């Protein structure tokens, strides 16, 4: 049933419906869409402030461009809820980020209007250029526009794509959504007027006609070109983009719908690479989000009337453990520096920046630079700690190999969000860091079973004279009290938590907790492996000799994972026994709650128990003697 409070929005089932509306109704539709988002996300949570800031832009784009034939390529995608609502998914928007519901970011399999799947930043210009070149090769006249934020413009990949697009003279539009007001203090009526004028067909025709006349007078044309460049440089910040081969327009008010629509109409007719700079405000139209866009970037359910969010349950998070540890270690060792690629809040470095501002470095969205920066510091006696999400570490893998591992430099990687991450889905799941790092010579890789062990491992990794990584999950652990000291663990030593019969469960990191109950129920041996690399081979070999079967359990990809390290160890020593691995399967796990994802991946306690019982059925008869406490016990 239609909601009577949204009379215009109720009429929109597709962008074709939007384009059938008179332009005069667009501002009222923007108001309705903004109210609908506040109400809906207030109930279910999700990305919020960025979406409020792109409402007018989204309306203008779908109003002017012939989507989905024309291609709109969004960067990151956490600002695309208005896009999803206008492209036939309004009735499902309350399911966003939930198991079986709408994806949190654009996803090609979800809608033909989602032209490119995203989640990470700074990919839009490259993807849009690829689509523009495909249209050129196929003789198609469709238009392509990339929408990229000022944060995403801090990554080198965006400039690589801009440089290439300018060189190829590709027919595409890049829209810079500047929502920090950092390079655009001069937005206002004059700039809006200038942009409408400069982007108009009449001005473009006059400009190109003048060029043809001046072609016969080379010195005069060069003088005119320089004059145009310097005059535009005085009133706009677009000189950089002009030098890269783009025709720059802006900045303009990104909430002024008439200006946006007219400007986009003008620019859609242009050929060649074109750059439009708009300025928006995160959280536009919702005072609490405008005042604190970081807090309201991604929200849990909240009261739309008060802005008060539903408090999150749980104890001390692993991120908090890291935050406390790095401050304590920095106070003890002045060589420590903290580095993050634009994840100060998410990685737990807010307090560190406040207490040690000279030793804190935010590289912006530049993971490759962050890693090589750390390597350079490590060359000259500094002890860098790189705080980074597992999924973002993927973007700097070459630097991890070439600049850190090859040179055996003492860089500690504090890898947050390792394993499944819930609602953000496969683009943000830390599934592959174990496989990436385990194969690298010189690396030490650790996975804590609880909060206190995480602190111990961070201290251990910091003291190692070589590259080290501690991978820990999003959220909290089993609730173990964290000691205040800076003690370390013996490198490469596992911890036997329970001695039992026949079956041995070798658990890594987060899987120690669910494996504990299973080991009790089956009277199995349980080993908290702690170190993925170097593996405690003495422990593994003794377990293989004294038990009928081995089950490895990890919250990372089975392919190349910790379990395979156990298999390799046994094979290298000529030992065989029934052996099985439980971990993330060879597919991407879709978004949902963490519990939904564990079930999807086959990593619940019931799944681990079933795998253990299958192994027990394969055990040789009479091989159930209780293992004695061996010398290798950690």
Show which residues are catalytic. 282, 367, 395
Question: Which secondary structure element, helix H or strand E, spans residue 178, and what is its range?
Answer: strand 172-178
Q: If DSSP states are collapsed to H, E and C, what string results for 300-337? A: CCECCCCCCECCCCCCCEHHHHHHHHHHHHHHHCCCEE
Is the bond into 534 cis (omega within 30 degrees of 0)?
yes
- Contacts of 515-519 with C-beta under 8 Å, sequence gap 24+, read 515/553, 515/608, 517/605, 518/605, 518/608, 518/609, 518/612
393 contacts 413 by C-beta, under 8 angstroms = yes
Q: What per-residue string of b and e applies to 569-594 under the rule 16 or more CB within 10 Å gives b?
A: bbeeeeeebbbebbbbeeeebbbbee
Residue 8 has pLDDT above 80, yes or no: yes
Is the bond into 251 cis (omega within 30 degrees of 0)?
yes
Question: What mean pLDDT value characterizes the chain?
Answer: 90
Q: Give the residue with greater pLDDT, 297 vs 56.
A: 56
The reported pTM is 0.88
Q: At what angle do helices 218-235 and 201-214 cross, to 10 degrees?
A: 150
Q: Residue 332 CB: number of other CB atoms within 10 A?
A: 10
45 contacts 304 by C-beta, under 8 angstroms = no
Q: How confident is the model at residue 199 (pLDDT cuts 50, 70, 90)?
A: low
According to DSSP, the residues that pair with 247 across neighbouring strands are 274
Q: How confident is the model at residue 619 (pLDDT cuts 50, 70, 90)?
A: confident
Q: Cα–Cα distance between 505 and 564 in angstroms, integer?
A: 14
Question: Which secondary structure element, helix H or strand E, spans residue 383, and what is its range?
Answer: strand 383-389
Q: Cα–Cα distance between 469 and 386 in angstroms, integer?
A: 9
Q: What pLDDT score does 77 carry?
A: 87
Q: Cα–Cα distance between 516 and 494 in angstroms, integer?
A: 15
Q: What is the pLDDT of residues 490-529, one digit of tens each?
A: 999 999 999 999 999 999 999 999 999 999 999 999 999 9
Helices and strands (H and E) in the chain: how many: 26, 19
**289 closest CA partner among 5, 30, 47:** 47
Q: Residue 478 CB: number of other CB atoms within 10 A?
A: 13
DSSP state of 419: B
Q: How far out from the chain centre does Cα 374 lie?
A: 21
Q: What pLDDT score does 310 carry?
A: 78
Mean pLDDT for the stretch of residues 13-31: 97
Q: Residue 21 CB: number of other CB atoms within 10 A?
A: 16
Mean pLDDT for the stretch of residues 309-321: 82
Q: What pLDDT score does 5 carry?
A: 84
Tell me the H-state helices in 280-410: 287-291, 318-332, 344-347, 350-355, 367-379, 390-393, 397-399
Q: How far out from the chain centre does Cα 565 lie?
A: 28
Q: What is the pLDDT of residues 454-494, one digit of tens each?
A: 999 999 999 999 999 999 999 999 999 999 999 999 999 99
Residue 350 has pLDDT above 70, yes or no: yes
Give residues with Cβ within 8 angstroms of 485, minimum separation 6: none
Q: How confident is the model at residue 3 (pLDDT cuts 50, 70, 90)?
A: very low
Strands 336-340, 71-74: pairing is unpaired
Q: What is the pLDDT of residues 40-56, one digit of tens each?
A: 999 999 999 999 999 99
Q: Residue 43 CB: number of other CB atoms within 10 A?
A: 12
Q: What is the pLDDT of residues 531-569, one digit of tens each?
A: 999 999 999 999 999 999 999 999 999 999 999 999 999
Q: What is the pLDDT of residues 116-140, one digit of tens each?
A: 999 999 999 999 999 999 999 999 9
Strands 412-416, 383-389: pairing is parallel
Residue 180 has pLDDT above 70, yes or no: no
Coil, helix or strand for 242? helix
As a dihedral over the C-alpha atoms of residue 262, residue 263, residue 267, residue 269, rounded to 10 degrees, the angle is: 10
What DSSP assignment string belongs to 398-427? HHIIIIIITTT---EEEEESBB--STT-TT
Residue 70, token pair as written in the block: 């024309």
Q: Give the residue with greater pLDDT, 387 vs 621.
A: 387
Mean pLDDT for the stretch of residues 576-597: 96
Q: What pLDDT score does 408 carry?
A: 98
Q: Give the residue with greater pLDDT, 512 vs 76.
A: 512
- The CA distances from residue 191 to 8, 174, 198, 322, 569, in Å, are 31, 18, 10, 46, 67
Residue 631 has pLDDT above 60, yes or no: no
104 contacts 78 by C-beta, under 8 angstroms = yes
Coil, helix or strand for 438? helix
Q: How confident is the model at residue 630 (pLDDT cuts 50, 70, 90)?
A: very low
Coil, helix or strand for 298? strand
495 contacts 446 by C-beta, under 8 angstroms = no
Q: How confident is the model at residue 197 (pLDDT cuts 50, 70, 90)?
A: low
Q: What pLDDT score does 406 carry?
A: 98
What percentage of residues in the chain have a pLDDT greater than 70?
87
Tell me the H-state helices in 179-256: 189-199, 201-214, 218-235, 239-243
According to DSSP, the residues that pair with 582 across neighbouring strands are 553
Q: Give the residue with greater pLDDT, 181 vs 456.
A: 456
Q: Cα–Cα distance between 114 and 19 in angstroms, integer?
A: 18
């Amino acid at each position: 049933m239609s909601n009577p409070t949204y009379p215009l929005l109720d009429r929109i089932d597709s962008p074709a419906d939007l384009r059938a509306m008179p332009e005069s109704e667009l501002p009222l539709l923007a108001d309705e869409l903004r109210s609908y988002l506040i109400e809906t996300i207030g109930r279910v949570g999700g990305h919020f402030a960025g979406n409020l800031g792109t409402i007018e832009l989204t309306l203008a784009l779908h109003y002017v461009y012939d989507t989905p034939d024309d291609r709109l390529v969004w960067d990151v995608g956490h600002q695309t809820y208005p896009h999803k609502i206008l492209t036939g998914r309004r009735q499902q928007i309350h399911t966003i980020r939930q198991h079986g519901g709408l994806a949190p970011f654009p996803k090609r399999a979800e809608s033909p209007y989602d032209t490119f799947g995203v989640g990470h930043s700074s990919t839009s210009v490259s993807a849009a250029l690829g689509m523009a070149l495909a249209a050129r090769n196929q003789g198609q006249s469709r238009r392509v526009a990339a929408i990229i934020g000022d944060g995403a413009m801090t990554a080198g990949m965006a400039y690589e794509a801009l440089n290439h697009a300018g060189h190829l003279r590709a027919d595409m539009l890049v829209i810079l959504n500047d929502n920090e007001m950092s390079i655009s203090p001069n937005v206002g009526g004059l700039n809006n007027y200038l942009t409408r004028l400069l982007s108009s067909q009449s001005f473009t025709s006059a400009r190109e006609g003048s060029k043809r006349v001046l072609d016969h007078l080379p010195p005069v044309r060069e003088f005119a070109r320089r004059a145009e460049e310097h005059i535009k440089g005085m009133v706009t910040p677009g000189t950089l983009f002009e030098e890269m081969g783009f025709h720059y327009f802006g900045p303009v008010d990104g909430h002024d719908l008439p200006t946006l629509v007219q400007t986009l109409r003008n620019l859609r007719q242009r050929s060649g690479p074109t750059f439009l700079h708009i300025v928006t405000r995160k959280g536009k139209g919702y005072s609490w989000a405008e005042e604190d866009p970081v807090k309201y970037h991604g929200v849990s359910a909240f009261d739309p009337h008060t802005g008060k969010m539903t408090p999150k349950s749980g104890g001390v998070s692993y991120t908090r453990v890291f935050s406390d540890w790095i401050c304590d270690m920095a106070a003890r060792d002045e060589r420590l520096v903290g580095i993050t690629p634009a994840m100060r809040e998410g990685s737990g470095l807010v307090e560190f920046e406040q207490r040690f501002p000279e030793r804190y470095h935010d590289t912006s969205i530049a993971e490759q630079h962050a890693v090589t920066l750390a390597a350079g510091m490590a060359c000259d006696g500094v002890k860098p700690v790189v705080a980074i999400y597992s999924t973002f570490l993927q973007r700097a893998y070459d630097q991890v190999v070439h600049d850190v591992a090859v040179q055996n430099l003492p860089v500690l990687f504090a890898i947050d969000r390792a394993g499944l991450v819930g609602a953000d889905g496969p683009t943000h799941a830390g599934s592959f860091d174990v496989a990436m790092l385990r194969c690298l010579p010189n690396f030490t890789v650790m996975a804590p079973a609880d909060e206190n062990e995480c602190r111990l491992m961070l201290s251990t990794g910091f003291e190692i004279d070589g590259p080290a990584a501690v991978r820990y999950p999003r959220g909290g652990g089993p609730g173990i009290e964290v000691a205040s000291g800076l003690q370390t663990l013996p490198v490469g030593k596992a911890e036997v938590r329970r001695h039992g019969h026949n079956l041995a469960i070798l658990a890594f990191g987060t899987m120690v907790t669910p494996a504990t109950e299973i080991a009790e129920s089956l009277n199995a041996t349980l080993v908290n492996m702690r170190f993925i690399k170097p593996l405690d081979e003495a422990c593994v070999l003794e377990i293989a000799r004294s038990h009928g079967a081995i089950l490895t359990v990890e919250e990372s990809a089975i392919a190349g994972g910790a379990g395979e390290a156990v298999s390799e160890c046994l094979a290298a020593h000529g030992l065989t026994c029934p052996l099985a691995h439980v971990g993330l399967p060879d597919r991407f796990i879709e978004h949902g709650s963490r519990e939904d994802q564990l079930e999807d991946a086959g990593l619940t306690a019931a799944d681990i128990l079933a795998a253990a019982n299958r192994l027990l059925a394969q055990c040789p008869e009479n091989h159930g003697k209780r293992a004695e406490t061996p010398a290798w016990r950690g």
